[in-house]
Structures are given as C-alpha cells and as structure tokens.
A and B are shown apart, each in its own frame.
Chain A
C-alpha cells in the first residue's frame, strides 16, 4: 500500500470512528429524551383535562348568570376545547395496566359533555327555571374527572417509576460503553497514527542515514534493501541506482585523473626538452647579422623574416592586434615562403590604408595564407599566384585571400565552415598536418566568430566568412569583418 493510500484510508476511518462514537451517544440520548417527552405529554394532556373542565364549568356558570352572546361565545370556546381534548385522550396509547383508567376518563368527559348539551338545550328555552338545571350533577361530574385524572397521573408516575429506574440504569450502562468506546477509539487512533508515522519514518530514517554516509564519501556503505512497495520504496530504488552510478562514475573519474596526471607529466617533460624560443629568436638575429657581414644578404633577410615571425608568434594570442601588424606578419611569412618557392609563387597584395586600423584577432591571416600554400600552391610547378586584398567599406572591412591552386571539393569546403567541436578538435588535433603556428583554419574561424559575433553560431560564421572554391581553379576566402578600431 502506498503512503497516499494509507493516508486516504486511515484518516477517514479515524474521523468516522470518532464521529460514530459521538453520534451513537447523541442518538441514544435523543431517544431517551423523546421518551421523557412522551410521558410528560401524556400527563400534560391529563392535567389539561382537569383544567379545561374546571374552566368550562366556570364559563357555564357565567353564561347561566349573564345569558348573553358574549359569554356564550366564551363558554362555547371552552366546550370546543374540551371536545378536542377528549379526542386527544382517545389518541393516548392504550397501555397495561392504566388503559382502563384512560377509558374511564374518556367516558367521564363524554358524560360531562353530554350533560353540557342537555344544559345548553335547557338554556335555549328562556322560560326554563334555573333550579331545574343540573348544575350540581355537573359539578359532581367535574369532581370525578378531577379525581380520575389525578389518579391517572399518579398511576402514570407510579408505573413510570420502575421503567425509568431501568432506563436510568441502562443509560448509565450506555454511558459506560460510550466512555469505553471513546477510550478504545482514542487508543486505536494513537496506534494507527504511530503505525502510520513509523511506517513512513523508519525507512526514511534508514535512507537518511545511508544518504548521509554516501554524502560523506562512504560509497561502499551497504545499500539498504527496500521493505515496502510505496513511495519510499521507489525512493530506495532511485537512491540505490544513484549510488550505483556514483560508484561507476567514481571509478571512471579515478581513471581519468590518472590519465591526466600522466599527460601533464609528459607535457612537462616535453616543455623541459624544448629550447627557449627567445634563445632561438636571438640566435636568428645573430645569424642575420653574421650573414650580412659575410655578404649573404638574402640569407640575412630571411633570417630577419624568420626572426620577426617568431617574435610575432610569441606575443600573447588573446590580445587583438591592428590589421597593419597582421598584414606585416603575413608579408614576413610570405617572404619566408618565397625563399622556399622562389619564382614559382607570386603575391599580389592590395591594401586600403583606411582599413589598417581595424582590430583583428592575432594570427588570423598567417594560418589562412599557410592554408593556401599547403592545399593550393605547394603542388603547382609554376605560375602560382596569391592575392591578399584589403578593402575598406563604410561599416566593414573585407579581406580576400585567394589562390589559383588545386581548389577544394564541396565536402571539404562544407567541413571547413562548421563550428562543431569535433571538427574544431579535429583541426587542432594531431591527425592533421601540423603547420607552423599550430593553428588550423577552423581555429581561426572560431576565434573570428567569438571576436566579432554576438553568438557563436553558424549564422555568424556565414556572415563573416565566405569561401569560394573550384577544383583546379583555386580558392578564395573572403572575410567580411565589421569595422572596429581602438577607439
């Protein structure tokens, strides 16, 4: 049974139980009350007979004395009242042993009424002598009614005595049962309440202890077995499942940590084995000077270019630079490549001077040029041409890097223009041919998007970067950058 069902069943049961007790006691006391009322009512009727007969006699005497319609009306009213009352007497239950007396009373009242009729008849004759009216007989009759009714009331009381003694003792008994019922139902309620709270509390406590243990890191704490099929039971199941997952996750985590540690160590070793780049850069400068002194001017220039490239690459990559510097760097890079490719390659660069203040992420152009070399021009025997065009438009700067090399398939083109992590990872990953900066085109694109766009999504990407390519015709990458300068 679920907790909800338990509550839904037991709370109404307890409420009904408590109310039942109250209702029982109320009901029986109502019964007793109505019985008192009945007996009282009987006696009231009997008492009423005495009173009304007395009043009727009085009214009759007044009527005999005054003989006018007013008093006659009073008298008639009383007589009618008595007639109604005599009907009431017939409605009284005929009960042993007093029913004979009720009958007597009825007969006496009837005789009285008969006598009244006779007197009325006599009175309707104005010549009748008052002496012939049987007033004495009427009075005697009244006395008899009085006696009989009094006897009857006495008998009713007498009779009721024994019954009421019994009712009283039964009522006391009933009250005792009522109290017992109350006490038992209270005890039962307490029992059920304890049981209910216990059935909820105990497993919850157990779970809490287990949860606390797990929270404090004791993952090997024995998982409690679920005892019930209620909500707490399912909580147990979830908890156990969670602990299970936590254990697995923990094991994996430990593995990962170990892996990371190893990688870190390796990296450290790799760094230790690396030559300090500044040393390289100083050495290059010395080589340049030496070459110049010895008359190898071109070698000296190349050494300077390489030196400049190193210096540029050594700066902080997270700081934006002026387009001017970026172009300078691109030119240095081209100079180095030129030394390698000689006359096989030609650079056509057109710079709009207004655009040179444009802020741009560091190392944007060099990887793109490198890309053009690697994928476009490297395989060409001769006539390779690179174009680097910078144009200033009112709100943006357009940079076009184009080659007339091998070009790209549609598939490669599409893959370049996606931002998802796996591809980003892929470009920076080792499966790619490492280039000089260690940065792939996608890394560049991603940084551009992050730098210029509000949202790092495909829409921003497509707005900023366009790639046109055809196989054996060449590729052009067009960057449309919103104008931004230091101010």
Chain B
C-alpha cells in the first residue's frame, strides 16, 4: 500500500467517523426536541383530582410571600392538596373580591386570602363561606369574623414587641416617626396600636404616621419628610416589610445615622442593613409557617377536627447581636 493510498483511506475513514458522530448527535438533538415537543416540555400532572386550594397573595416575587408560598406548597404536598397561587397586586377590594368570587364559581375547595377592608370584599368572603368554601385569611385579617380562620402573626402583639425593642434603646420622652403601608390597613393599624401603647407606657411619643403604600420610592420620600418635619426624631419605624432598608439608606445618605431604624420582616437588604448597623432591629414573622399552617388548617377542617378561628404564628426579633449570635451558632 502506498503512502498516498494510506492517506486516502485514512481521510475516508475519518470522514465516515465524522459522519457517524454527526448522525448520532443529530439524532440525539432530534430526540431531545422530540421529547420537548411531545408534551410541550410540560410534565403532565399526576393525581389532578386532589382538592384544590387557592392562595391569593400580593406578589410572588416578594421574599415574604415567596416564603408563604413555599410553606403552603410543602403542606399541600404533605396533606394532598393542590395549591394554586394567585397574585392580586395592590389592595383594591373590588379586585380582590372579584378574584374571590371567581374562585368561588370555579368551585375551589378552600380560599386562603390576604384580607383587605371594605364591604365588597367582605360580601365576597361571605358568599364563599355560604357556598361551603372555607375562607382563611392570612397575614392580614378582617374586622369581622365572617372568615373561617386567621393564620398569621398576632399583629397587636407584634407591634407591642417592636415597641418594647424601641423603648429599650431610646431615652424616655423621645419622639418616634412611623411609616405604615396604609392607614386603612387593619393589619398595619393593629401593629401601630400595639406599638403606640407600649411606646406611650414609657413616655415616648409618635411624632407622626406616614404612608408608603409598599413603594420603595414612597418610603424614601416619607423618610425625608419625617426628618424634615421632625428634626428631633430618635427613631423611625417601618411597619411594612419594604420600609426598613429604604429608611436606613435614606438616613445614611442624609447623614442622620443618629436616628435609629426599626422594621418588619427579613429580606436580604434588611439583614445586610442590620449587619452594617444602619438598621437597629427588625421583628421577623414566620411566613413559611403561615403558609404551611394555613393549608394544614384546611386539611384539619376537612377531616372534621376542631380548629381555632385565630392561629397565631410566632414572631422574633433580629438585632445585630442576635444575628451575629445566630451566625456563630451556625458555625
């Protein structure tokens, strides 16, 4: 065999190998596409006949609500419930009421909803209850007890707890600024009530209460307003979960680090603020527990067990000290 023939044969062999490899690759890719295409890449649900619970929240992207979803999902898996998550941004009661009505007509087995105020919403809840669909409020409750149950923090208590934390770190007779989500929110007002009562007990006072409407930009604006309006503030408290980081960053920018910042609930930004020392402390709720307990309560109800009409989940405080202790504990 000459050198030329050998070279020729080798290149032909190489080409054949390339061809085989390409064909295999081609088929493999083709098969992958085929499996993606065959059911549009979606896994078909097994046991789609499970009872169906809908959890109507605000924003799934939010850390707090995300944890509620996780809890509810896990409980659903555990107790055999399909949990549907529905976001209704904002807090227009008409929209929320319409959603509740929609699920009532869609014959869900239970509704978990973050309550808002107003007759329209209450009517929707009432209708659902009347047609045999239990409504459980979560995180935020209604005034009246038309719903089956409430699962979430004891808001007045949480407010008092936070008041205690503030009292411990400021001198008597100080004035404190407050930012709430909305003054019309029962949840926020309950927190405020508790907070104010404890604060008053120590001779401190609330300078004013401003609304942030869960908007970061609004939180910043209201902080600036509070600092402008009341230069002698010793502390600013944010009662909704997005407030504290915004307040802390604004004060830092304004050079008013003498004003202590308190807030609600943990988020990466909040924890970072505590670590940096620009946030004094936060009161952390148990969103995962709320979600989990809400679904478990529905399961209990279906099984005929007696369930409380108010199920409070615990709260705990987070300060720089406790955070470091916790991190060291983890180590």
Contact = CB atoms under 8 A, between A and B. Distances in A.
A joins B in a complex: yes
B43 interface: yes
Contact of B102 (A108, A160, A173): A108
Given A144-B101, A184-B19, A170 B45 contact: no
B54 to A, nearest CB: 8
Given A35-B40, A95-B42, A167-B37, A107 B105 contact: yes
A94 B11 contact: no
Contacts of A38: 37, 40
Interface in B2-41: 8, 11-12, 15-16, 18-19, 22-23, 25-27, 29-30, 32-34, 36-41
Nearest to A171: B33
B42 A159 contact: yes
Q: Which of B25, B45, B48, B52 has the most CB of A within 10 A?
A: B45
A11 interface: no
B84 A100 contact: yes
B28 to A, nearest CB: 9
A34 interface: yes
B52 A100 contact: yes
Interface stretch (A64-72, A175-183, A360-368, A402-410): A175-183
A111 B39 contact: no
SS class of chain A's interface: helix, strand, loop or mixed?
helix
Contacts of B29: 28, 170, 173-174, 177
Nearest to A190: B15
Contacts, number: 128
Given A93-B39, A181-B22, A184-B15, A99 B45 contact: yes
Given A103-B48, A180-B22, A35 B37 contact: yes
Contacts of A28: 29-30, 33-34
B106 interface: yes
Given A93-B42, A185-B19, A188-B15, A107 B107 contact: yes
A34 B33 CA distance: 12
Contacts of A167: 33, 36-37, 41
Contact of B26 (A98, A159, A177): A177
Contacts of B105: 107-108, 111, 141, 144
A contact residues, range: 35 or more
A177 B102 CA distance: 50
A167 to B, nearest CB: 6
B52 to A, nearest CB: 6
B60 to A, nearest CB: 12
B156 interface: no
B18 A184 contact: yes
A212 B38 CA distance: 68
A144 B102 contact: yes
Contacts of B27: 24
B211 to A, nearest CB: 29
B42 A111 contact: no
A292 interface: no
Interface string B177-208: 00000000000000000000000000000000
Given A100-B82, A147-B102, A181 B19 contact: yes
A19 B107 CA distance: 56
Nearest to B107: A107
A34 B86 CA distance: 31
A159 B43 CA distance: 12
Contacts of B18: 180, 184
Given A24-B26, A24-B30, A184-B15, A163 B41 contact: yes
Contacts of A101: 84
A95 B42 CA distance: 6
A379 interface: no
A143 B105 CA distance: 11
B306 interface: no
A125 interface: no
A105 B27 CA distance: 39
Given A174-B33, A191-B11, A94 B101 contact: no
B103 A96 contact: no
B44 interface: yes
Nearest to B11: A191
B6 to A, nearest CB: 14
A96 B106 contact: no
A229 interface: no
A171 B33 CA distance: 8
A178 B27 CA distance: 10
B19 A27 contact: no
User: Which of B18, B33, B84, B105 has the most chain A CB atoms inside 10 A of its CB?
Assistant: B105
Contacts of A184: 15, 18-19, 22
Interface string A140-159: 11011001100000000001
A108 B99 CA distance: 12
Contact of A96 (B22, B26, B30, B43): B43
Given A103-B48, A111-B105, 5 more contacts: A32-B37, A144-B105, A147-B102, A159-B42, A191-B12
15 contacts: A35-B37, A39-B40, A100-B52, A107-B107, A108-B105, A108-B106, A144-B98, A144-B102, A163-B41, A167-B36, A170-B32, A171-B33, A177-B26, A177-B29, A187-B15
A-B complex: 10 closest residue pairs judged by Cβ atoms: A95-B42, A35-B37, A163-B41, A144-B102, A104-B106, A177-B26, A107-B106, A100-B84, A111-B105, A107-B107
